[in-house]
A = this chain, B = another copy of it.
Amino acid sequence: MARAKQDKQESHRTMQVVNHVRALIENGTLKPGDKIPPERDLARTLQISRASLRTGIGYLAALGVMKIKHGVGTFVADGPPDFGQDSLSFIGALHGFQSWQMFEARILLETGLAALAAERGKDEHFTLLAEEVAEIFASVDNPTEYLIHDVAFHRIIAQASGNPILAAIMEAIVSSMYDRRRKTVERSIDLRESAGMHREIYRAIRTRKPADARRLMEQHLRMAQEAQGLERPIGKHEKTVAPQ
């Protein structure tokens, strides 16, 4: 039974720091945006060397829990939940995740997100969505600009779903696909048609029709997928998701 046992300690001191911070976060002492004490002070407080402390802080930074600013200080991450920038693309490269698999994951998540948004979205979300749709239509001749609003549109839907976990996961997947996507959009096809689909999705959400929202989102994404040639190969392999 493979993962029965747990790796309890990633080396004593490091985990001591991690657990310390975790405790402070869980009991509410430390909240997003807060600044933690200077390394020298905190090290003295925890009775460990500054070097060890830094290892622990680095660990937390990698997880996206802490944000370090040279010459300024170290802070608890604020803003939207964030699995350390490229963690997904990193382990993706490691395990040979393939592009069509990424896209499949994205479709599964976003269709669900769209349905949830249709059920729970608030007026504020509808407003933002409408604005982005307008911007999208206004950018059909400017691929770079278009992509910005496209991303924003999907992000707002994730927000409107009321489920930050799913939103964060989607964010991670999308950002790990960003490089490739940008290229595609630049040599893109049919931004007008794509813009129309965004509007339809918006309408389905606004009128609270989860099933429609789901279906339209799936249709939209599958079309995008084809545009990038990332359909699932029938029985053979495909090149890995590796960037560049």
Interface residues, chain A, with chain B CB atoms under 8 Å away: 1-3, 6-7, 10-11, 14, 22, 25-26, 32, 51, 54-55, 58-65, 67-68, 70, 76-77, 79-85, 87-88, 90-95, 97, 101-102, 104-105, 108-109, 112, 116, 148, 152, 162-166, 168-169, 173, 242-243
Contact A58 B62 (CB under 8 A): yes
| Nearest residue, chain B, Cβ from A21 | B90
Q: What is the oligomeric copy number?
A: 2
B residues in contact with A80, CB < 8 Å: 2
B residues in contact with A10, CB < 8 Å: 61-62, 68
- Which 9 A-B residue pairs are closest in the complex by CB-CB distance? A62-B62, A108-B112, A59-B62, A105-B165, A63-B87, A81-B95, A101-B163, A105-B166, A55-B58
CB distance from A127 to the nearest CB of B (A): 17
| Nearest residue, chain B, Cβ from A69 | B7
B residues in contact with A79, CB < 8 Å: 2-3
B residues in contact with A148, CB < 8 Å: 1
Contact B63 A61 (CB under 8 A): no
B residues in contact with A87, CB < 8 Å: 63-64, 83-84, 87
Contact B32 A94 (CB under 8 A): yes
| Nearest residue, chain B, Cβ from A91 | B81
B residues in contact with A81, CB < 8 Å: 91, 94-95, 97
Contact B68 A91 (CB under 8 A): no
B residues in contact with A243, CB < 8 Å: 26
Contact B108 A94 (CB under 8 A): no
Contact A65 B51 (CB under 8 A): no
Alpha-carbon gap, A109 to B105, bound state (A): 9
CB distance from A166 to the nearest CB of B (A): 5
B residues in contact with A102, CB < 8 Å: 165
